[in-house]
Structure 1
């Protein structure tokens, strides 16, 4: 099984939108075989905080700290992306 990586943009714009708290929320809910990392700009300024999950390349936009638990339980543990939170630019409804 390929380990997952969760990248949370902590560059200027996302940081102003609260990405440090999103990063802390992911770090407080560790999952086996999942690495949580602070990232430089992911190129989606103004839609953050951005969360990018590899290797499947799933994008979440405007993630709030209180939503992290849902992503951890449904996506990282359950394997099912959280549809309502997906970034529409890369995951059109």
Structure 2
């Protein structure tokens, strides 16, 4: 998983913004992550569960992401290739 170009999409639509997604996007953008593009996204269609983060092409959805948790996602998933199970969005990744 570590040699693929990834895109991290952080929802910036109304509900996610109210839940703090602008700060989550800024936290991701503060990192320089090789082979990863971080982008603001339009609505990801999961309103009320945000801030939503989608990692492509992995199709891994993270919900209720807080700015202080971004470092964990970067270190474990984007750099280490390990999905951060406690942060997974239950709708697409049932336990």
TM norm. shorter chain > 0.5: yes
2:65 counterpart residue number: 63
Asked if 1:52 is matched to 2:54, the reply is: yes
Note the aligned Cα RMSD (angstroms).
0.6
Measure the CA separation in 2 of the matches of 1:72 and 1:56.
14
Measure the CA separation in 2 of the matches of 1:56 and 1:70.
17
**Runs (4+) off by over 3 Å:** none
Structure 1 stretches of 5 or more lacking a match? none
TM-score (norm: length of structure 1): 0.98
Q: Deviations over 1:37-87 (max 9, x none)?
A: 000000000000000000010000000000000000000000001000000
Measure the CA separation in 2 of the matches of 1:84 and 1:23.
20
2:91 counterpart residue number: 89
Superposed displacement of residue 2, structure 1: 2.9
Measure the CA separation in 2 of the matches of 1:33 and 1:23.
17
Structure 2 stretches of 5 or more lacking a match? none
TM-score (norm: length of structure 2): 0.96
